[in-house]
Amino acid sequence: MKTWRALSILSLASLAAALPAAAPRKASIETRLQRVEDDLAIRRVLVDYATFLDGRDYASYANLFAPDGEWVNGAGSHKGRAAIREMLGKMMGPAGAPNSANYHIITNPRIDIAGDRATATSRYLFVMRGPDGRPTPSLAGIYRDDLVRIAGQWKIQRRVADDIMPTPEEYRKIMAARKAAAQ
Amino acid sequence: MIRAGIAFILCAAMGGASAQAAPRPAHPSIEQRLQRAEDEIAIRRILIDYHWDMDMRDFDAYAALFAKNGVWTSGDQVHQGPAEIRKMMVGIFGEPKPGQPNRRSIEITTNPEITIDGDRAHARSRHLLIWRGPDGSPQPMLAGRYEDDLIRENGQWKILKRIDYPVMPTIEEWGALMRARAAAATPAK
């Protein structure tokens, strides 16, 4: 114990001597590790989003959001977990239904963390079964997220889905043409 | 015991500081292992920011990803230094117009393989360039890969050399595609 104490004092003294007075203070090991863990946890949220959406697990999807979390796109906004679940039912069909007609590829995470808040952007490529069964890139865009740490877990406070291509009007035309071709 | 713990962390940190010059320690300290994870995250971010800045047409930010002597090269093209690299981007896309975001293309960046050695690193990654197709739907146009040398410059990772290897189409095929596209976009007289 005495040796440790002596080492501790020695280390502190040499550490203080080694650092110029004006040098920026490096964050503690724990703070830095927390940041790495936060980055990994947020990456998981971005990818879980697609897993739950494509798996039609609407309860888990809604739970990725804060209780007053918001999902926004060009057509409007849905605030709160109940409203977000309702939106999914309308857009994607019944919860729990098997889905092999489409899926989301999530890439390009850019995450900035500030304490219990974070912002992130990521990209999505929505791939649908084409007429002959081949995967057909159908929608590409950018998610812009505000995240918040609630009870130790990262949650989406606000997600904005920005469809880069096609435009909503073009998308409706493409879907109508596919439907007509399938009949 | 708490003091012992603090002493241990401090000694580990000090050991880390004094051992930094030594290449690849057999038993890296906690701090060195943490630094390695932080470096990996920082370098992944550069790979992603590269395409973010390109797609957003933020050529100042794009050029600032390179080291002061950083090189961008592909085939026989070589551009050195952030100023020259910015000029290359303006040559390809024109001066960015504020308030007119790019919605014609989006890059997907994948497959990061990062090897770190002190203040130097090597990274491999892939990209898929997607363009608006004739009906507006996303169309893969170009698939390629990058080989990067990176350097820690003033505490920040920067690209020392990026080699851009288009895989498909070939440069000749790309030229033919662009000519066909330009012809299709020009109304017949």
Spell out the per-residue pLDDT of chain A, length 183, in tens: 444 455 454 454 444 444 445 556 789 999 999 999 999 999 999 999 999 999 999 999 999 999 999 999 999 999 999 999 999 999 999 999 999 999 999 999 999 999 999 999 999 999 999 989 999 999 999 999 999 999 999 999 999 999 999 998 999 999 898 888 877
pLDDT of B15 > 50? The answer is: no
Percent over 70 (pLDDT), chain B: 85
CA distance A133 to chain B (A): 17
Nearest Cα to B112, choosing from B59, B49, B28?
B49
In a domain, A21, yes or no: no
- What size, in residues, is chain A? 183
Interface contact flag, A137 B17, Cβ < 8 Å: no
- Beta strands B66-74 and B156-168 are parallel
At residue B2, does pLDDT exceed 60?
A: no
What is the distance in angstroms between the Cα of A116 and the nearest Cα belonging to chain B? 19
User: How much is the pTM?
Assistant: 0.85
Q: Does B31 touch chain A (CB under 8 A)?
A: yes
Chain B residues in contact with A4 by the CB 8 A cut-off are 3-4, 7-8
A166 contacts B106? CB cut-off 8 A: no
Select from B3, B30, B130 the Cβ nearest to the Cβ of A5.
B3
Q: Does B88 touch chain A (CB under 8 A)?
A: no
- The reply to whether residue A32 touches residue B38, judged by beta carbons under 8 angstroms, is yes
Residue A3, in any domain of the structure: no
CATH number at residue B102: 3.10.450.50
Cβ of B136 and A15 within 8 Å? no
Q: Which residue of B has its CA nearest to A166?
A: B136
Q: Is A132 a domain residue? A: yes
Q: Which domain holds residue A128?
A: 29-182
Number of domains present in the structure of chain A: 1
Span B64-92, average pLDDT: 97
Query: Does B111 touch chain A if contact means CB atoms closer than 8 Å?
Result: no
B34 interfaces chain A, CB cutoff of 8 Å: yes
Confidence grade of residue B189 (pLDDT, cut at 50, 70, 90): very low
Q: How far is B12 from chain A (nearest CA, A)?
A: 10
Which structure tokens are listed for A76?
A: 């409007």
Partners of B31 on chain A (C-beta within 8 Å) are 29
B42: in domain = yes
- Looking at beta carbons, which residues of chain A come within 8 Å of B30? 29
Whether B150 shows a pLDDT value over 50: the answer reads yes
Query: If you average pLDDT over every residue of chain B, what do you get?
Result: 88
pLDDT value, residue B13: 41
Token couple for A92 = 């994607």
**A80 inside domain:** yes
Contact list in A for residue B38 (CB cut-off 8 A) is: 32, 35-36
Chain A positions touching B45 (Cβ under 8 A) are 110
Nearest Cα residue in chain A from B141:
A137
What does chain B come to in residues? 189
Note the pLDDT of residue A26: 82
* Number of domains composing chain B: 1
**What count of CB pairs under 8 Å joins A to B?**
98
Question: How high is the ipTM of this complex?
Answer: 0.84
Residue A92 maps to which CATH number? 3.10.450.50
Report if residue B61 sits inside a domain.
yes
pLDDT at B176 over 70: yes
Q: Is residue A76 part of a domain?
A: yes
Partner A contacted by B61 (CB < 8 A): no
Residue B21 inside a domain? The answer is no
* Domain encompassing residue B113: 32-185
The reply to whether B101 touches chain A by the CB within 8 Å rule is no
User: What is the average pLDDT across B50-62?
Assistant: 97
* Domain contains A1: no
Contact B49 A139 (CB under 8 A): no
Q: What is the rounded distance in angstroms from the CA atom of residue B102 to the CA atom of residue A133? A: 31
Strand order in the sheet with A117-129: A76-79, A65-73, A153-165, A135-150, A117-129, A102-114
Q: Supply the pLDDT for residue A140.
A: 98
Q: Which amino acid belongs to residue A171?
A: Y
User: What is the average per-residue pLDDT within B8-17?
Assistant: 40
Residue B5: partners with Cβ closer than 8 Å, 6 or more residues away? none
Please count the CA atoms within 13 angstroms of the CA of B115 that sit on its side-chain side. 6
Please, which pLDDT band fits residue B178 given cuts at 50, 70 and 90?
confident
Counting Cβ atoms within 10 Å, is residue B113 exposed (0-12), middle (13-18) or buried (19+)? Answer: exposed
Query: Two tokens at A39?
Result: 């980055």
